[in-house]
Amino acid sequence: MAAMLQPQIILLKEGTDTSQGKPQLVSNINACTVVADSVRTTLGPRGMDKLIHDDKGTTTISNDGATIMKLLDIVHPAAKILVDIAKSQDSEVGDGTTTVVLLAAEFLKEAKPFIEDGVHSQNLIRSYRTACSMAIDKIKELAISIEGKSLEEKKSLLAKCAATTLSSKLIGGEKEFFASMVVEAVIAIGNDDRLNLIGIKKVPGGNMRDSFLVNGVAFKKTFSYAGFEQQPKKFLNPKILLLNIELELKSEKENAEIRLSDPLQYQSIVDAEWNIIYDKLDKCVQSGAKIVLSRLAIGDLATQYFADRDIFCAGRVTEEDLQCVAAATGGTVQTSVNNIIDEVLGTCEIFEERQVGNERFNIFSGCPSGQTATIVLRGGADQFIEEAERSLHDAIMIVRRALKNSTVVAGGGAIDMEISRYLRQHARTIAGKSQLFINSYAKALEVIPRQLCDNAGFDATDVLNKLRQKHALPSGEGAHYGVDINTGGIADSFDNFVWEPAVVKINAINAATEAACLILSVDETVKNPKSESAQGEAAASAMGGRGHGGAAFRGRGRGMRRR
């Protein structure tokens, strides 16, 4: 009997928590579902906002999936994957962050009954990947290209894509106003990939309609020195000099020492210092520039000197603003005032300093390169303006993507319903278990139109039945039908101009499927914290070691004294 007993093998450190098998997989799926529930109600034009309050007292109001996921500070290891896919969707496409989280959670939710019935997760993963690849092919087939259209037509199409994105945001009431502004800004920067060339400046006060777009650069008036009031505040076609130099008198270091043999020499040393600064200022004036901007300080002396010669100057301009001015005006930032040639000077049609709310803004418009744009945002509370900025960021990203990948699909859940129908039809042609798995994948895609209805207060079952009926028409004429948010029924999303770039949907389905497959492939979680008892033992043993050492030393000391 004793021989039959297996010796107990201790493999992992004491205090290690291991969970494995089916219960662990179901637990991970449940955690992801809970995460999705936190952003579920933010989807679509009638989505609700979340107010997130952190321990520093900062309040954020947002319905942007990526922002909410970031601020929730999720600690569950499996649920963190959903945070990552929301972030990747945000950086890659800019919109569809809530969609991607909802889809991933819904795929897992549909897989849960199969896992509980003992289906091996690898079978599910294989079918899900097949369904994903078919869905993406179908999207590409259904997408409509906007390539080859005139600029005006293109602008109108892009504005509709931007309006679809903005309709679910806090500034949805003014979506047409902001959509055209976003399109103008994106077209202004052309093929340049640097997003920071579109500046967004926030000025509290006024209403949203007071926001405006500058085809160039605008930045807040910098720190001003005496003599600033006497400088001209408006120029037509000025030359602009950009510097990275301090134009002020510098006091000597505290330990500077000069030995003089003749007291008369002292005056020449003082004069030398003044001559250096005057020489710099004179070279700036000789360059023919009417506007001098520097990243470093421009002191009282220089400000007064420029004012006397009808030149505008601004010091301590931020690096980002200076680079934007350089890109817009065609100037180059100089680190020396020697040998300033015309090629390094920038220019613009109009420069003016204008009052915006309580702030003064320096505005450069009509820039030759036309590669920058600035949106000056107005609004009430700070939280409102912050959310408006996040909304515009999403719209800007969408328009950029639509310009580069110029295909669009019908929004409002239309594309999701069409892929769902296509996959259900395909599932009927397959034998075996994978028929059920692909069918469940198709069912999961319906979460988007269903959630749009729920968030708007419509009867989701009724609307989805109508949509299924419309999409099942053999002629294919119902392929563009989605949820009509205004009437609570269904409508042709293309005719209603509810469009989104195909790349948004492709990226969302790809990322959501990958995340679901990743979570389904995990069957064990090992948590190995340093338990308090282990830390206590370590501390005790460390102290014990030191104690013995001390005692040994004292013993030797006594022994030596005895000898």
Annotated active-site positions, please?
A: 64, 97-98, 394
Backbone angles phi, psi at 234, to 5 degrees: -150, 135
Residue from 90, 9, 106 nearest 398 by CA? 90
Record the tokens describing residue 550, joined without a space. Answer: 């001390």
CB distance 395 to 178 below 8 Å = yes
Q: Are the CB atoms for 181 and 399 separated by under 8 Å? A: no
Residue 505, classified by CB atoms within 10 Å of its CB into exposed (0-12), middle (13-18) or buried (19+), is buried
> Which parts of 398-540 are beta strand (E)?
407-410, 481-484, 489-492, 499-501, 524-527
Closest CA to 178 of 31, 389, 348: 389
Q: How far apart are CA 345 and CA 332, in angstroms?
A: 7
Residue appearing with tokens 């460390």: 542
Both tokens assigned to 199: 């500046």
Rounded to whole angstroms, the Cα distance separating 525 from 541 reads: 31
Longest dimension (CA), the chain: 112
Query: If we measure between CA atoms, which residue out of 470, 437, 422, 414 comes closest to residue 137?
Result: 422
Nearest 5 degrees, angle CA 537-CA 541-CA 543?
Answer: 115
Instruction: Name the DSSP letter for residue 521.
Output: T
- The rounded distance, in Å, linking the Cα atoms of 435 and 58 is 50
Strand partners, 379: 204, 205
State residue 300 phi and psi, 5-degree precision. Answer: -60, -45
Spacing of C-alpha 412 from chain mean position: 23
Nearest to 135, CA basis, from 537, 409, 482, 523: 409
| Separation in Å, CA 205 to CA 179, 198, 210, 358, 359 | 21, 22, 9, 8, 10
Token pair belonging to 246: 């301090």
CA atoms of 135 and 333, how far apart (whole Å): 50
298 secondary structure, DSSP code? B
Q: d(Cα 173, Cα 8) in Å, to the nearest integer?
A: 68
Query: What is the rounded distance in angstroms from the CA atom of residue 513 to the CA atom of residue 127?
Result: 11
How does strand 407-410 pair with strand 499-501? Answer: antiparallel
Q: Is 460 exposed, middle or buried (0-12, 13-18, 19+ CB in 10 A)?
A: middle
Q: What are phi and psi of 426, to 5 degrees?
A: -65, -40
Q: Helices marked H in 167-299 — which ranges?
A: 175-189, 265-286
HSE toward the beta carbon, residue 348, CA cutoff 13 A? 30
